[in-house]
């Protein structure tokens, strides 16, 4: 059995789907369906069982959970604006630590979700303490367990891999609301309002020019499965494309994908702006000083670990994402 926590969520449900494609169905999904609409991410999945996160945590802490073959821990509060530090540290840090201790005691491979938020404003995104300075308690909750793993690295009884996700986008994120990806919001905004809004220039960047490392969910799944296949590897690794692209690229690609679906011509960025299809709003005051204007994963350690597959750029990934949403009738 493989445990996938957060398995009804965005990355978790896509991991389960990736396991299903390999013929693996003996999967325990752990999540919190108080937000019942997340069930939509599970209807086409093949799993053995579902368990609420509190019940699962109680079994782990009591040592009563039957030994799984691996734990893929994706469950967490991913709201980077959450200010309740007690909740964030318990939900993100403490639960991860409990699962780690459980897996180490039973020699179970443990893969967990870390985050690029540990780096704060950068400018370098390398898996080393001197580059880590989170801007919020979410980032710190992820960093603290990374630090625990470093302390324990030389004494592990089973493999442990932390993946620092950059800006992940793709199908099955609709339940995330405002925390869904820029691509998701761009496409839905264009359908509803006929235009897309981006932040104007700030921090030395032009309108829509702030840059992020946007990584397609299919690539995130591939990286996870690579480490699941290589239990001889432990460590903390960036999971991004190694390529920073401006928000303008995401918006332009999203608009053009929807225009092409309607039989309209794709447009260059300047024409989208001139026609009011892409508009800029003043950069919010409350985000100044708490915003990552540029992220770009350093993939040196991931490549050194043996992961050689290419990563989709924004134009490829967002176009594929749009096609999935259009085909599913979710943008019409």
- State residue 268 phi and psi, 5-degree precision: -70, 165
pLDDT digit string, tens, across residues 105-153? 999 999 999 999 999 988 999 999 999 999 899 999 999 999 999 999 9
**Quick check: pTM over 0.85?**
yes
Decide if 167 contacts 181 (C-beta within 8 A).
yes
Residue 199, beta-bridge partner list: 281
pLDDT < 70 regions, the chain: 332
- Please report, for residues 78, 83, 162, 211, 331, the alpha-carbon distance to residue 177 in angstroms, rounded to integers and kept in the order given: 11, 18, 26, 22, 15
Distance CA 73, CA 77 (A): 12
Q: Which of 50, 176, 222, 291 is catalytic?
A: 176
Q: Does 172 sit behind a cis peptide bond, omega within 30 degrees of 0 on the bond before it? A: no
SS3 26: coil
Distance CA 231, CA 2 (A): 14
- Length of the chain (residues): 332
Q: Tell me which residue of 316, 298, 327 sits closest to 249, measured CA to CA.
A: 316
Would you list the domain boundaries of the chain?
2-168+217-242+297-312, 174-210+245-295+315-325
The class of domain 2-168+217-242+297-312 in CATH terms is alpha beta
Distance CA 244, CA 295 (A): 6
SS3 111: strand
pLDDT at position 332 is 55
Distance CA 327, CA 236 (A): 36
pLDDT at position 121 is 86
pLDDT at position 85 is 84
Q: Could you tell me the fold of the domain covering 174-210+245-295+315-325?
A: UDP-galactose 4-epimerase; domain 1 (3.90.25)
SS3 66: coil
pLDDT at position 80 is 73
Q: Give the residue carrying structure tokens 């053995």.
A: 48
198 sits in which H/E element: strand 196-199
2-168+217-242+297-312 and 174-210+245-295+315-325 have identical folds = no
The stretches of the chain forming alpha helices (DSSP H) are 10-21, 53-62, 85-88, 95-106, 137-152, 182-193, 217-229, 247-261, 269-274, 300-304, 314-327
Q: Which of 138, 169, 307, 321 is catalytic?
A: 138
Distance CA 95, CA 98 (A): 5
pLDDT digit string, tens, across residues 6-47? 999 999 999 999 999 999 999 999 999 987 788 999 999 999
Quick one: angle between helices 314-327 and 247-261, nearest 10?
A: 40
How many CA atoms are closer than 13 Å to the CA of 23, on its beta-carbon side? 0
Residue 176: active-site member = yes
Q: Give the residue carrying structure tokens 């069930």.
A: 39
pLDDT at position 37 is 84
pLDDT at position 79 is 75
């Amino acid at each position: 059995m493989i445990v996938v926590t957060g398995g009804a969520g965005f990355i978790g449900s896509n991991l389960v789907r990736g396991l299903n494609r390999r013929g693996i169905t003996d999967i325990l999904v752990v999540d919190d369906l108080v937000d019942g609409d997340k069930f939509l991410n599970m209807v086409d999945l093949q799993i053995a069982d579902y368990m609420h996160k509190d019940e699962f945590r109680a079994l782990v802490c009591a040592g009563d959970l039957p030994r799984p073959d691996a734990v893929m821990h994706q469950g967490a509060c991913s709201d980077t604006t959450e200010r309740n530090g007690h909740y964030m540290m318990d939900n993100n840090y403490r639960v991860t630590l409990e699962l780690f201790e459980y897996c180490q005691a039973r020699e179970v491979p443990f893969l967990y979700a870390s985050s690029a938020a540990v780096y704060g404003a950068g400018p370098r995104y390398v898996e080393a303490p001197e580059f880590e300075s989170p801007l919020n308690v979410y980032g710190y909750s992820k960093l603290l367990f990374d630090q625990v793993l470093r302390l324990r690295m030389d004494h592990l009884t089973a493999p442990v891999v932390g993946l620092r996700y950059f800006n992940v986008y793709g199908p099955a994120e609709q339940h995330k609301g405002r925390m869904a990806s820029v691509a998701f919001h761009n496409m839905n905004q264009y359908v509803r309002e006929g235009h897309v809004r981006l932040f104007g220039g700030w921090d030395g960047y032009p309108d829509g020019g702030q840059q992020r490392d946007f990584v397609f969910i299919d690539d995130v799944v591939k990286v996870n499965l690579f480490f699941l296949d290589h239990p001889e590897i432990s460590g903390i690794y960036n999971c991004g494309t190694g390529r920073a692209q401006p928000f303008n690229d995401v918006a332009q690609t999203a608009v053009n994908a929807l225009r092409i679906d309607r039989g309209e011509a794709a447009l260059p960025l300047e024409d989208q702006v001139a026609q009011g299809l892409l508009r800029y709003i003043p950069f919010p005051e409350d985000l100044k000083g708490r915003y990552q204007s540029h992220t770009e994963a350093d993939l040196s350690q991931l490549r050194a670990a043996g992961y050689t597959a290419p990563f989709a750029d924004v134009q490829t990934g967002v176009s594929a994402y749009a096609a999935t949403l259009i085909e599913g009738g979710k943008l019409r």
